[in-house]
Amino acid sequence: MTDVTDVGLRERKRLATRRAIQVAVLNLATERGLDRVTVDEISRVADISPRTFFNYFASKEEALAGDNPELPGEEAINVFVNAGRDADLLAGIAELLVESSEHSVEDYRVSLQRRAILKQHPQLFAMRMASMHQFEDELDAVLTRRLAVDDPILAANPVELSRKSRLVTFVAFAAMRHAWATWGDSDAGTDFPERLRSSFACLGLLFTKADA
Amino acid sequence: MTDVTDVGLRERKRLATRRAIQVAVLNLATERGLDRVTVDEISRVADISPRTFFNYFASKEEALAGDNPELPGEEAINVFVNAGRDADLLAGIAELLVESSEHSVEDYRVSLQRRAILKQHPQLFAMRMASMHQFEDELDAVLTRRLAVDDPILAANPVELSRKSRLVTFVAFAAMRHAWATWGDSDAGTDFPERLRSSFACLGLLFTKADA
DNA sequence: AATTAATTTTGCAGGACATGCAACAATTGA
DNA sequence: TCAATTGTTGCATGTCCTGCAAAATTAATT
């Protein structure tokens, strides 16, 4: 979706319009509060018809939520899948997510604006998490491959394999949520990849300590 | 909210109306699909004014989502908090959630109906998860107490304590999601508490195995 | 360059959602 | 029975969101 490979005029205009809408809704919501912003206003600022707005987003909340992440390229995926069972699973996932978050770097001010608004509206934050079903499924597919490679016995049991990969996916998302939350609480000091690694590291310590 | 202690006529009527709405929206959504159901129809079936509907729920989705869970009573909470650091943390959380889920047992048919509809509409499922912020905060508070009791050194560092409890909360919710998901996939065979324990057990195995 | 095809934008109409407000009804407690 | 509290309802209003078809823009073909 953020691929700049297709540089037809159409694609460029479409992306520009998308960005214009996202910037417009962020600015309006920042200055007067999300509840006082209407689609009509957004459209006026973004210089499009109100009807066109809905060609891009199903709601103003969706426009505000930001683009969904994407998994890194196939090479990185393959490295992760075949890292071997001795390689730290959580650290591997963390690196995938770090690459993913660095893949679509957007304007810093925009990030801060969005962070501020998402902090004021926890429901929006939750909706953002909810909108990541696709990303979740993609990660789940990758994790299924990794788990199957690591444990051929498990691979022979599709039901169990699927259950386990789902669980790991959900747990990974929990760590990602945590990283988002701590990043949102911080005063703009640290960057997000650092938070990601920290959360996943803490996650790993959580349960290994239970043995000691 | 489900307390039957206050048996005034008012409370009873209010609860009855609430249930009537929930049943109405479930039946309508089951027979004709959620998209073809309007608040007006729900109100007609539930025998209330459309305006009254919004005195109970902010949207038809909320009416469909089901009531939020509640933590078990104070006694169970205290037992969990003071279980000691040798007691399995995850298993303890699982039992809290099991008690919580058994606390508000509703009609079995209603559960199945809701499960079927939530399965058809993943966005609704996500919205339900999102609406649990309050429950999440309550669980986080309990976990903060437990972690502080288990580790006095950590208790002296409020920031780290808060971060860790948040992470455990999110991970616990991930396991709960997993339990919901596997329960939704099953053919009505097993019950939810069983799934909860299974998911939490699997979660515990996930990382301890990494040492072997 | 001209024409055709594919895609996007826009206006319009219309239904549904959601809230504030004030009048009305029902429950409670004295 | 009366007053206070709480819940219900109708109305008005603004916003959301979708379908549809015409107009405009870009792409592709000759």
In the numeric block, which tokens belong to residue A15? 């992306």
Q: Is B177 in Cβ contact with A89 (below 8 Å)?
A: no
Determine the distance between A99 (CA) and C18 (C1') in angstroms.
42
Q: What is the mean pLDDT of residues B27-51?
A: 97
Angle, helices A108-120/A122-130, rounded to nearest 10 degrees: 110
- ipTM more than 0.85? yes
pLDDT bracket for residue A107 (50, 70, 90): confident
Q: Which of the residue ranges A2-6, A154-158, A182-186 has the most confident prediction, judged by mean pLDDT? A: A154-158
Give the whole-angstrom CA distance, residue A21 versus residue A45.
Answer: 8
pLDDT > 50? residue B137: yes
Contact A134, A159 (CB under 8 A): no
Supply the pLDDT for residue B2: 42
Is B167 within 8 Å of A202 when comparing Cβ atoms? yes
Q: Where are the alpha helices (DSSP H) in B104-157?
A: 108-120, 122-130, 133-150, 152-155
CB contact under 8 A, B130 and A131: no
Mean pLDDT over B137-149 rounds to 98
A52 touches strand C (CB under 7 A): yes
What is the Cα–Cα distance from A67 to A164, expressed in whole angstroms?
28
Pick from B203, B150, B126, B133: nearest CA to B172: B203
pLDDT of B103 > 90? The answer is: no
Query: Which run of H or E residues covers position A162?
Result: helix A158-185
User: CB of B61 within 8 A of CB of B127?
Assistant: yes
Total Cβ atoms within 10 A of residue B13: 10
Interface of A with B (CB under 8 A): 88-90, 122-123, 126-127, 129-131, 133, 163-164, 166-168, 170-171, 173-175, 177-178, 181-182, 199, 202-204, 206-208, 210-211
Is the pLDDT score of A153 beyond 50? yes
Distances (CA, A) of A25 to A34, A128, A180, B29, B68: 8, 16, 21, 33, 32
**pLDDT, tens only, B59-78:** 999 999 999 999 999 999 99
- pLDDT exceeds 70 at position A212: no
Q: Could you give the CA distance from residue A69 to residue A193 in angstroms, rounded to a whole number?
A: 13
CB burial string A45-65: b at 16+ within 10 A, e below: bbebeeeebeebbeebbebbb
Which residue gives the smallest C-alpha to C1' distance to D6? B10
What the block records as the tokens of B86 is: 């040798």
Task: Indicate the pLDDT class of residue B5, thresholds 50, 70 and 90.
Answer: low
Q: Which residue of B has its CA nearest to A159?
A: B182
Residue A2: its pLDDT value, please?
Answer: 41
**Given an 8 Å threshold on Cβ–Cβ distance, is B206 in contact with A129?**
no
How many angstroms is C1' of D23 away from CA of A72?
41
Q: How would residue B212 be classed by pLDDT, with cut points 50, 70 and 90?
A: very low
The pLDDT of B112-134, averaged and rounded, is: 89
Q: Pick the residue with more confidence: B207 or B145?
A: B145
For CA atoms A45, A56, A29, A110, the dihedral sign is negative
Contact A104, A18 (CB under 8 A): no
Instruction: Compute and round to an integer the Cα radius of gyration of chain B.
Output: 19
CA distance B122 to B118: 6
Helices and strands in chain A: count of H runs, count of E runs: 12, 0
Residue keyed to tokens 């057990």:
B201
Question: pLDDT higher for B8 or B154?
Answer: B154
Pair of tokens at residue B46: 């539930």
Is it the case that residue A9 has pLDDT exceeding 70? yes
Task: Using DSSP, state whether A83 is helix, strand or coil.
Answer: coil
What is the overall mean pLDDT for chain A?
92
Nearest nucleotide to the CA of A54, by C1', is D17
Amino acid identity for residue B162 in this structure:
S
Kindly report, residue by residue over A78-103, the tens digit of the pLDDT: 999 999 999 999 999 999 999 999 88
The Cα–Cα gap between B122 and A130 comes to: 9
Q: List pLDDT tens digits, range A69-80.
A: 999 999 999 999
Tell me which DSSP letter residue B69 carries.
P
pLDDT in tens, A20-58: 999 999 999 999 999 999 999 999 999 999 999 999 999
Handedness of CA A17, A22, A23, A25 (dihedral sign): positive
**Top-ranked range on mean pLDDT: pick from A120-124, B40-44, B206-210:** B40-44
Side-chain half-sphere CA neighbours of B117 within 13 A = 28
pLDDT at B10 over 60: yes
What's the average model confidence in pLDDT over B137-155?
Answer: 97
What are the backbone dihedrals phi and psi of residue A157, each rounded to the nearest 5 degrees, phi first? -120, 90
Give A54 CA → D30 C1' in Å.
37
Q: Are B73 and B56 in contact (CB under 8 A)?
A: no
